[in-house]
Amino acid sequence: MEIISQNKVHGGWLKRYQHHSDVLNCDMTFTLFLPPQAEEQAVPVLYWLSGLECTDENFMQKAGAQRLAAELGMAIVCPDTSPRGTNLPGEHDSWDLGSSAGFYVDATEQPWESHYKMYSYVTKELPELITESFPVTDRKAISGHSMGGHGALICALKNPKAYSSVSAFAPISHPSDCPWGQKAFSHYLGNNKDNWAQFDACDLVAKSSSPIPILVDQGSADKFLSEQLKPEALTKACKDNDFALTLRMQPGYDHSYFFITSFIEDHLRYHGKALGLL
């Protein structure tokens, strides 16, 4: 693992690393915020999964999360959003498939199958690397935005004991039933809808026997709301299956990081409480 950059911020350190991923079969970058408390003791970690067209840097540069994370004593890890440098056929042709659009699934189809295993990367390989390399505890929370909101939901729903808490901003709630999700799932997972259901938050809620609370913020002026995000599908799935969903419709907010920075502190406090920091 090699350090690419480091910046002191709010008494902590923002560090960017490159490492080889055996799971993704390529070199990857991630960005890590270590709060000042990490100089004295191990701290819990919030994993943040970003959306389409993002890298590991968008959240750390735009969300303004470091001030409160430093106060709470919470590390934040941002993985990249897809494998990199693999140059598969069609990988760079559109912004919603391939590069920056890994969708946090484990691909089974060619040509993606040999690299596009973002689910295993963010739930297993990267947390193991973080835990063995930095002063962090094994307590984890997870959140994300849009494609990353979908990612956060499925990671927590598939591993309810691994994460203390889960939240999302404008998640793709039901990818099997929206154009972004259908495009990604058909390429990465093939045409068998049973395989799609393994990575769809609404289907996972319907099948889960361990209900976990979910916090979602959604802007009412989000241009992707009705066609791609469909919070009403998540609301129905949670209602039908006794999941405690807190869905906060935020009037006038769009899909951008201006929306995320407006409410990130609520999410950090929510995770801080679950992680025992408040």
Ligand X SMILES: N[C@@H](CCC(=O)N[C@@H](CSC=O)C(=O)NCC(=O)O)C(=O)O
C-alpha–C-alpha distance, residues 14 and 254, integer Å: 27
DSSP-assigned beta bridge partners for residue 101:
98
Nearest by Cα to 47 from 135, 139, 184, 173: 139
Kindly name the residue from 115, 145, 255, 271 that is annotated as catalytic. Answer: 255
Binding positions for ligand X, 205-264, rule CB under 6 A: 255-257
| 22 vs 258 by CB, closer to ligand X | 258
Catalytic annotation on 222?
A: yes
CB of 210 to ligand X, least distance (A): 27
CB of 173 to ligand X, least distance (A): 12
* Contact by Cβ (8 Å): 64, 261: yes
Site string for ligand X, 71-110 (x = CB under 6 A): ------------------------x---------------
- Give the residue closest to ligand X by C-beta: 51
> Does 51 interact with ligand X (rule: CB under 6 A)?
yes
Binding-site size, ligand X (CB under 6 A): 13
* Contact residue for ligand X among 19, 26, 42, 53 (CB under 6 A): 53
Nearest by Cα to 184 from 108, 245, 87: 108
Site string for ligand X, 129-148 (x = CB under 6 A): ----------------xxx-
CB of 172 to ligand X, least distance (A): 7
* Contact residue for ligand X among 45, 54, 122, 153 (CB under 6 A): 54
> How is residue 17 written in tokens?
């690393």
Nearest by Cα to 185 from 194, 175, 174: 175
CB of 238 to ligand X, least distance (A): 21
* Contact residue for ligand X among 58, 143, 173, 176 (CB under 6 A): 58
Catalytic annotation on 174?
A: no
DSSP code of 228?
A: I
> How is residue 129 written in tokens?
């690397």
Phi and psi, residue 151, nearest 5°: -60, -45
Nearest by Cα to 12 from 37, 47, 48: 37
> Does 168 interact with ligand X (rule: CB under 6 A)?
no
* Contact by Cβ (8 Å): 21, 121: yes
* Contact residue for ligand X among 52, 60, 69, 178 (CB under 6 A): 52
Q: Alpha helix locations (H) across the chain? A: 58-62, 66-72, 118-120, 126-133, 147-158, 179-189, 193-197, 201-207, 231-240, 257-274
CB of 200 to ligand X, least distance (A): 15
DSSP E strands in 122-206: the ranges are 136-144, 166-169
* Contact residue for ligand X among 15, 19, 62, 158 (CB under 6 A): 62
Other beta carbons within 10 Å of 212: 18
Nearest by Cα to 12 from 61, 57, 70: 70
Catalytic annotation on 146?
A: yes
Task: Catalogue the active-site residues.
Answer: 146, 222, 255
Binding site for ligand X (CB under 6 A): 51-54, 58, 62, 95, 145-147, 255-257
